[in-house]
Amino acid sequence: CRMMTPVVEQLAGEFAGKVKIGKLDVDYNQEIAIRYGVMGIPTLGLFREGRLVDRLVGYPGGAGPIRAWIEKGAEVASARN
């Protein structure tokens, strides 16, 4: 989703050194989309140690909700350690 590009870039800068943020075009990476069960676009995946632990489907309306989702995921991961 092109609307997500500036949001992804913003969050990548904010979380640099803490969280790896990237994007993947499912049209060119269909095997990965199938492997992770991507059914809608955009789909955001939260991974921990290479495993998908949460997903967010759809555009939530800006960086704020995505930032909160990432931070919540980081808190849960820290609590497990």
Q: Is 59 helix (H, G, I), strand (E, B) or coil?
A: coil
Tokens read off for 38: 């991507």
- Average pLDDT, whole number, for the chain? 91
Domains and CATH numbers, the chain: 4-80 (3.40.30.10)
Tell me how far apart the alpha carbons of residues 53 and 67 are, in angstroms, rounded to a whole number.
Answer: 16
What lies within 8 Å, CB to CB, of 6 at 6+ separation is none
How big, in percent rounded to 5, are the helix, strand and coil portions of the chain? Answer: 45, 15, 40
Residue 76 has pLDDT above 90, yes or no: no
* C-beta separation of 43 from 57 below 8 A: yes
Question: 14-38 pLDDT, tens per residue?
Answer: 999 999 998 999 999 999 999 999 9
Over 80: is that where the pLDDT of 79 sits? no
